Amino acid sequence: MRILVIDDNDINRLTVQRLLGKRGFRVIESSDALDGIEQARRCAPDLILLDLQLPEMDGFEALGRIRAL
Average pLDDT over the chain, rounded to whole?
Answer: 96
State which amino acid sits at residue 9: N
State which amino acid sits at residue 49: L
- Are 48 and 40 in contact, with CB atoms under 8 Å apart? yes
Q: Return the pLDDT at 8.
A: 96
The CA distance from 55 to 59, in Å, is 10
pLDDT in tens, 21-35: 999 999 999 999 999
